[in-house]
Amino acid sequence: MSVNLQTPIDYLKGVGPNRADLLRSELGIHTYQDLINLFPNRYIDRTKYYKINELQRNNAEVQVIGVITGFKEVAQKRGKRLVADFKDDTGMMELVWFRGQKWIRESLKTGQPYVIFGKTNWFSGKYNMAHPEIELKSKHETNLRSAMQAIYPSTEKLSNKGITNRVVTKIMQQLFLETKGRFSETLSETVKGELKLLSKSDALFNVHFPKSPELLARAQFRLKFEELFYIQLQLILKNLIHKSKIKGFTFDKVGDYFNTFFNDHLPFELTNAQKRVLKEIRADLGSNAQMNRLLQGDVGSGKTIVAFMSILMGLDNDFQCCLMAPTEILSVQHYNGLLEWCNKLNISISLLTGSTKTSDRKIIHENLENGNLQILVGTHALLEDKVKFKNLGLAIIDEQHRFGVAQRSKLWHKNTSPPHVLVMTATPIPRTLAMSVYGDLDISIIDELPAGRKPIKTVHRYDNNRLKVFRFMKDEIAKGRQIYVVYPLIQESEKMDYKDLMDGYESISREFPMPEYQISIVHGKMKPADKDYEMQRFANGETNIMVATTVIEVGVNVPNASVMIIESAERFGLSQLHQLRGRVGRGAEQSYCILMTSHKLSQDSKTRLETMVRSSDGFEIAEVDLKLRGPGDIMGTQQSGVLNLRIADIVKDKDILQQARYYAKSILKLDPSLSFPEHQPILNTYRQMSKYRNIWNYIS
């Protein structure tokens, strides 16, 4: 009879109720399956046996074969320590115990060959080893053990309660004895054959008790591939099920609105990337499945016009559309941008935010329900229950990572059938992360800037170059340009940040006195109306310099602003620096980004600054950011649960991830229901996973 891996861990010999409680609370180990998936985080090479005369003063862990020739007790300040002389044919060392002496004296014999293992210390002219692991050479040779010794994740509480690495290794051995090391296969023979993978049983054995470094590497590859393969399988299946079950509205015609805009009002020639993305969106809207697409494009790549043209396809098919943005400033900006085009095409559009007057709200609600209002732009206010559409066909969400999954689904339920969804982001997501977090969305990328845009020149300057920077600012203002100066805002020390901002504002006011120069200031402590007033003055060109905290990070569009100065740039993350830089370079003039820092910089800060100076490619910057910060940080808490990986690492194992996605895609293309006999192991594993681990709260 095979052992059921869902058996509670309490039933494993050597565990018992107390240890089981600790394993559950400290490491989340509830079942045999969880224990098998407790993968070691490092290994000690026990292939080598050292001679005493080969030992080095490096505090390393070593193993030595020898015999105990005698014991002595040595008095010390508190109690005694037990010391044994241990020798081999090359020399002599000491073994030391500070506790448990009685048991040691009784259980260890002189003159018998032992294998000892532990850290060596050099003390008064000879080596010693405190509390070594020790076993008879004869027993050592018959034990289920491997040359490379696994070191398992642990916690302080486990160590204090006596659940040492040795104990964990023992219960792991017990698990292998009970299961006879036989585990059901989870991949098809084809995949295993093509990738020359170890079987599941061999992989598990060699990850816990590796017979050699080569087998360990193969075992790790097999298990990482499998883990990433099932995440990809789930995401791709979710997408397929979504497309087959959730029927979308079919937008079957491209009509007057789209054609009139395209032929008469298009402000510039579309780039090839924009044309490609529009084709992808057009294909989705014309199929009868609901569109679920992520549109990525660097700051300034022209996502808004693609969004607007998608909206026109909706209007041509007699549907209403909405565009939701995370902040009031951004939604107002979207509204103003679209309003100009809507007026030319005689399209009705309204704006709904937290500060919309009650009387205006009433009119908006009525016109939405009777279908007179074609486009609604706004913030979270769009999600309120009072907001009801007559027939919402397309919902566009800007900067989606600021909205949770629950908020997206609220938009869905505004209709009898879910609308098509287009999610836009200017935060480039590295490919590896996009494949794992948004693998269930189709992804479109606008990867070229509109013609006539000059790349922004980025430089790094130290604080002692400030006078030169001031001179440069004056030259740019003389040419009629405007300038941003941004200070970091770090929550804990708002007082300090406010002081930085005010000090900066004062020194700039001294250097750029009125009435010759006009300065705006914007920070988090101001009332929204005052912020908007200052932003507006800057946007209208009434002020030359905008001194601000990062409030302006998302979406302020002032084509005449050509210089972005970022103070204490080392205190910003890479994606934030990239977003801030994107505030300039929106006109035809040459723009500049100046990163100001002190001379004291950490290695990571240097890497970030060098990356910014070298590259303006948002995707390359996002890859570096991923390496520096890790996936959890980048995705924020909402999405990082996806990457609760047991053995794979999304940054280091990017190639394995790509292979895993390729295989998951090919298999599902060939056999969407996994009904072929050779896909039986995959189907069984997938069902097990869905049953014992709620995958859907695991994947956003």
Choose the weakest-confidence range: 115-124, 401-410, 503-512, 690-699.
Answer: 690-699
Instruction: Give the whole-angstrom CA distance, residue 414 versus residue 390.
Output: 9
Q: Does the pLDDT value for residue 467 go beyond 70?
A: yes
Checking if the pLDDT of 504 tops 50, the result is: yes
Q: How confident is the model at residue 449 (pLDDT cuts 50, 70, 90)?
A: confident
Q: What is the pTM of this model?
A: 0.67
Least confident of 256-265, 505-514, 572-581: 572-581
What is the CATH number for 111? 2.40.50.140
Tell me, what's the pLDDT at 625?
83
Please tell me the total count of domains within the chain: 4
With a cut of 90, say whether residue 482 has pLDDT above it.
Answer: yes
**Mean pLDDT for the chain overall:** 86
Residues 231, 376, single domain; the answer is: no
Residue 493 reports pLDDT greater than 60: no
Quote the pLDDT of residue 139.
86
Q: CB within 8 A of 464, min separation 6: which ones?
A: none
Same domain, yes or no: 518 and 465: yes
- CA-based nearest residue to 283, from 262, 322, 313, 307: 313
Classify residue 568 as left (phi > 0), alpha (psi -120 to 50) or beta: left
- Whether residue 291 lies inside any domain: the answer is no
The pLDDT score that the predictor gives to residue 536 is: 84
335 token code pair: 């509204």
Question: Is the pLDDT assigned to residue 634 strictly greater than 50?
Answer: no
Side chain identity at residue 292, one-letter code: N
Domain-ending residue, one of 88, 110, 144: 144
Question: Which is higher by pLDDT, 242 or 485?
Answer: 485
Query: Do 597 and 472 fall within a single domain?
Result: yes
Are residues 308 and 407 both part of a single domain? yes
Q: What is the pLDDT of residues 386-401, one digit of tens each?
A: 899 999 999 999 876 5
Mean pLDDT of 565-589: 86
The pLDDT assigned to 384 comes to: 86
Whether the CB-CB separation of 621 and 575 falls below 8 Å is answered with yes
User: Which of 420, 294, 404, 431 has the alpha carbon at shortest distance from 697?
Assistant: 404
Q: Is the pLDDT of residue 636 over 50?
A: no
- Claim to verify: residue 593 and residue 665 sit in the same structural domain: no
Q: CA nearest 281: which of 422, 419, 429?
A: 422
Final residue before a domain boundary, out of 93, 118, 144: 144
Out of 401, 425, 449, pick the residue that ends a domain: 425
Angle, helices 165-179/200-208, rounded to nearest 10 degrees: 160
pLDDT given at position 642 = 46
Phi, psi of 46 (to 5 degrees): -110, 30
Residue 153 in domain = no
Given a cut of 90, whether residue 58 has pLDDT beyond it is: no
pLDDT of residue 632: 54
Q: 652 and 584 in one domain? A: no
Structural domain harbouring 322: 256-286+301-425
Helix (H) / strand (E) element for 265: namely none
Beta strand extents in 479-529 (DSSP E only): 482-486, 519-522
pLDDT at 408 over 70: no
pLDDT-derived band at 175 (thresholds 50, 70, 90) equals very high
Residue 439 placed within a domain: no
Residues 389 and 505 in one domain: no
Confidence of residue 492 (pLDDT cuts 50, 70, 90): very low
Which among 148-157, 221-230, 557-566 has the top mean pLDDT? 221-230
DSSP assignments along 47-102, one per residue? S--B-GGG--SS--EEEEEEEEEEEEEEE-SSSEEEEEEEEETTEEEEEEESS-HH
Residues 673, 541 share a domain? no
Average pLDDT estimate for 666-682? 94
pLDDT: which is higher, 576 or 461 = 461
Q: Mind listing the pLDDT tens digit for each residue in 350-390? A: 999 988 999 999 999 999 999 999 999 998 888 888 899 99
Enter the DSSP assignment of 31. B
Q: Which of 526-535, 637-646, 651-660 has the lowest mean pLDDT?
A: 637-646
pLDDT of residue 552: 60
**Percent of the chain topping pLDDT 90:** 46
- The answer to whether residues 268 and 221 belong to one domain is no
Average pLDDT over residues 199-220: 91
Query: Per-residue pLDDT for 405 more than 80?
Result: no
Count CB-CB contacts under 10 A for residue 100. 11
More confident residue, 587 or 250: 250
Q: Are residues 607 and 660 in the same domain?
A: no
Q: Mean of the pLDDT values across residues 223-235?
A: 92
Residue in this structure with the two tokens 């289920």, named with its chain if needed: 144
Quick one: pLDDT at residue 204? 95
pLDDT digits (tens, 9 = 90+) for 305-344: 999 999 999 999 999 999 998 888 788 889 988 999 999 9
Amino acid identity for residue 270 in this structure: L
Q: How far is the C-alpha of 140 from the C-alpha of 183, rounded, in Å?
A: 27
pLDDT of residue 327: 81
Residue 116 DSSP SS3 = strand
Q: State yes or no: pLDDT of 20 exceeds 90.
A: yes
From the CB of residue 635, how many other CB atoms can be counted at a distance below 10 Å?
Answer: 20
| 23 is a domain residue | no
Domain membership flag for residue 88: yes
Residue 479 lies in a domain: yes
Q: Does the residue 440 lie in any domain?
A: no
222 and 336 inside one domain = no
- Nearest Cα to Cα of residue 297 among 450, 161, 139, 78: 450
Peptide bond into 515 cis (omega under 30): yes
In this predicted structure, what is the pLDDT of residue 480? 92
CATH number of residue 271's parent domain? 3.40.50.300
pLDDT of residue 491: 47
pLDDT > 70? residue 558: yes
Mean pLDDT along residues 484-489: 85
604: left (phi over 0), alpha (psi -120 to 50) or beta: alpha
Distance of alpha carbon 63 from alpha carbon 280, whole angstroms: 63
Same domain, yes or no: 117 and 225: no
Confidence of residue 550 (pLDDT cuts 50, 70, 90): low
Element (H, E) at 690: helix 680-692
Amino acid at the residue 314? G
In a domain, 177, yes or no: no
